[in-house]
Structure 1
């Protein structure tokens, strides 16, 4: 009998510990739970302009010339046309192109973000602060080993090939040099 009594006492203790009271009304119990939460303070929202995009990377230094060597110079006010980048034989993947890119085009710097969302002419792109034709970029796609930037009508704005620095270089439809880099 003592064993039954011990088991009954243990069961009663467990029942009380679990918060179960047999035979009592629920109105006699006190609710134990968290109180209401106090609202968090909210600061006012302000609008500011974003800072300009960072400058492009510095140009590659030309090799030093020997003393007394003659060097050709461009007339003042003219710009050198960069040589066409070598075509890369490895195809470019869409996944490697997605994300944010810094852009140097038409004498200015800006940013382009390329997503994998289907869009007119390929995939969605958004430019910020870009000059000239590059401001019209709303789509992009990959064609073999080239990245093609497109406008809202699906027309090609620029074609770029992989450069040795992990970025891409090419020309716009208007003939301006353009490069994108991270």
Structure 2
């Protein structure tokens, strides 16, 4: 990619802009025609609903667009930002079990569902982060677990306690992919 990119000059929508960015306001009900003038200009920072106060990105207003993008990227992959690591391992879990620990893998926010096993999610996220972000290690942890090796046979007693198998008392039946045959 870098070798090919060296032959082209930066053009298009993805080049950093020169000068200061335009002023941005809170939009009433999301309508760009009705900015909230009482709130005033919104300064650069992380989205408040995504980041607790400890993990916010604070930027001076004179940073250009490239510096802001770099700060956002650094915030996303920061070791202390748990959302990234939880989201990644939840998707790996979803791949293996057909449902994530958080059943809404695209929404970890207020509109999403709560994790069925929050301690497991946090532990897997910490293992992923602390072991060099190794997907191979996370896959190995999951496929060698007792949960993954369970039978798919139904058990009436367990079905009465937890209908729908949200707590994974048995393995879901799955179609085998062509690569697995």
- With the length of structure 2 as denominator, give the TM-score of the two structures: 0.18
Higher CA-based Rg: 1
- With a CA cutoff of 8 Å and minimum separation of 6, indicate the structure with the bigger relative contact order: 1
Higher strand share: 1
- With the length of structure 1 as denominator, give the TM-score of the two structures: 0.18
Higher helix share: 2
